[in-house]
């Protein structure tokens, strides 16, 4: 896994920790929650590697919402198993990265 993709998946996990329990998302499966927001160039690698997909495909310079694919859901479940919680996202995600260890093995 590339570092840029790891960062996008960590952001998806952070969004899920914040918004996953609200009234809109709590009854939705993980793969149907809107956990990414950005342009196609920002998410190109995560999409190409099969971790995320656009909900509706935006034009090149417009932002759009993204869902996780089953492959992306697996990584989020690994983050949960590692015990990465919202408090771990302070200090540029340093604590979350320590818990992950070698991200290339995810």
Predicted local confidence at residue 48, as pLDDT: 96
Predicted local confidence at residue 74, as pLDDT: 96
**Total-model pTM:** 0.82
* Angle at alpha carbon of residue 66, lines to 1 and 38, rounded to 5°: 85
Overall number of domains in the chain: 1
> Chunked in runs of 10, what are the mean pLDDT values of the chain (106 residues)?
89 89 84 88 94 81 89 94 82 71 74
Q: Which two tokens stand for residue 65?
A: 């919402």
**DSSP secondary structure of 12-78:** HHHHHHHHTTSTTTTTS-GGGS--EEE-HHHHHHHHHTTSEEESSPPPTTS-EEEEE-HHHHHHHHH
Predicted local confidence at residue 60, as pLDDT: 66
Task: Look up the domain containing 39 and give its range.
Answer: 3-105
């Amino acid at each position: 896994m590339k570092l840029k993709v790891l960062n996008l998946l960590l952001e998806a996990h952070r969004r899920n920790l914040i918004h996953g329990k609200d009234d809109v998302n709590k009854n939705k499966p993980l793969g149907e929650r809107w956990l990414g927001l950005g342009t196609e160039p920002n998410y190109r690698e995560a999409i190409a590697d099969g971790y995320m997909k656009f909900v509706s495909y935006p034009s090149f310079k417009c932002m759009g919402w993204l869902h996780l694919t089953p492959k992306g859901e697996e990584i989020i479940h690994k983050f949960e198993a590692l015990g990465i919680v919202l408090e771990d996202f302070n200090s540029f995600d340093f604590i979350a990265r320590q818990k992950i260890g070698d991200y290339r093995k995810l």
